[in-house]
Amino acid sequence: LLIPLAITLGQVESNFRRETDLGAEKAIFFFLKNTLIPTTALMSAIYEEHKDEDGFLYMTYSGEDLLFTTKVAL
CB 61 within 8 A of CB 20: no
**How far, in Å, CA of 45 to CA of 65, rounded?**
29
Q: What is the DSSP letter of 72?
A: -
For residue range 23-41, what is the model confidence (pLDDT) as tens digits?
Answer: 777 888 888 888 889 999 9
**How far, in Å, CA of 28 to CA of 62, rounded?**
6
Q: What is the set of domains in the chain, with CATH numbers?
A: 9-65 (3.10.20.90)
Question: What is the chain's alpha carbon radius of gyration, rounded to the nearest angstrom?
Answer: 15
31 sits in which H/E element: strand 26-32
% of residues, the chain, pLDDT over 70: 85
3-state secondary structure of 32: strand
Full-model pTM: 0.74
pLDDT band at 70, cuts 50/70/90? very low
